[in-house]
């Protein structure tokens, strides 16, 4: 039996805790990506390592989104200029900053836990979002 998502005090749906294997999306990428978490904190949910806002390392925590399609990316801009202005996607190499805002109430090793409402900015302009948190049973603020 599946239960409806837990609603907070004000009736809003609570975000879910994010774990290893979460599915990520960038509006300028052509494919979804996954979140990789090293099991350093020894905190698990559904037997998977729990993510924090500091799990943002490009190519370490955040894998590429296939090809990048934004002219803010110098590689895409250069390839597009060489193709006389025809948008030419290039391989995605994320350049990210820490996730925000994270959970204000759940800490993992003194660092806010990552929840499904958090986002991560790529320097090339993409706002990375979490489309599937990696687990579906633990809700956090």
φ and ψ at 125, to 5 degrees? 110, -10
Q: Is 72 within 8 Å of 125 (Cβ atoms)?
A: yes
**What's residue 13's pLDDT?**
77
Q: What is the pLDDT along the chain (141 residues), one digit of tens a residue?
A: 454 554 544 556 789 999 999 999 999 999 999 999 988 878 999 999 999 999 999 999 999 999 999 999 999 999 999 999 999 999 999 999 999 999 999 999 899 999 999 999 999 999 999 999 999 999 997
Q: Which residues contact 60 (CB under 8 A, 6 or more apart)?
A: 36
- Residue ranges of alpha helices (H) inside the chain are 74-82
d(CA 2, CA 13): 16
**What's residue 42's pLDDT?**
85
d(CA 99, CA 111): 11
Strands 48-49 and 44-45: antiparallel
Each domain of the chain, given as residue ranges in start order, spans 1-141
| pTM of the shown model | 0.88
Q: Which residues contact 73 (CB under 8 A, 6 or more apart)?
A: 28, 90, 124
């Amino acid at each position: 039996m599946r239960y409806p998502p837990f609603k907070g005090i004000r009736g809003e749906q609570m975000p879910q805790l994010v774990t290893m294997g979460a599915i990520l999306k960038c509006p300028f990428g052509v494919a979804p990506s996954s979140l990789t978490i090293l099991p350093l904190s020894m905190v698990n949910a559904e037997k998977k390592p729990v993510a924090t806002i500091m799990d943002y390392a490009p190519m370490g925590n955040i894998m590429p989104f296939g090809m990048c399609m934004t002219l803010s990316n110098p590689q895409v801009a250069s390839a597009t200029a060489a193709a006389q202005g025809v948008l030419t996607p290039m391989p995605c190499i994320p350049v990210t900053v820490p996730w925000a805002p994270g959970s204000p109430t759940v800490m993992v090793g003194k660092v806010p836990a990552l929840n499904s409402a958090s986002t991560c900015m790529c320097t090339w302009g993409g706002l990375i979002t979490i489309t599937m948190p990696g687990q579906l049973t633990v809700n956090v603020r």
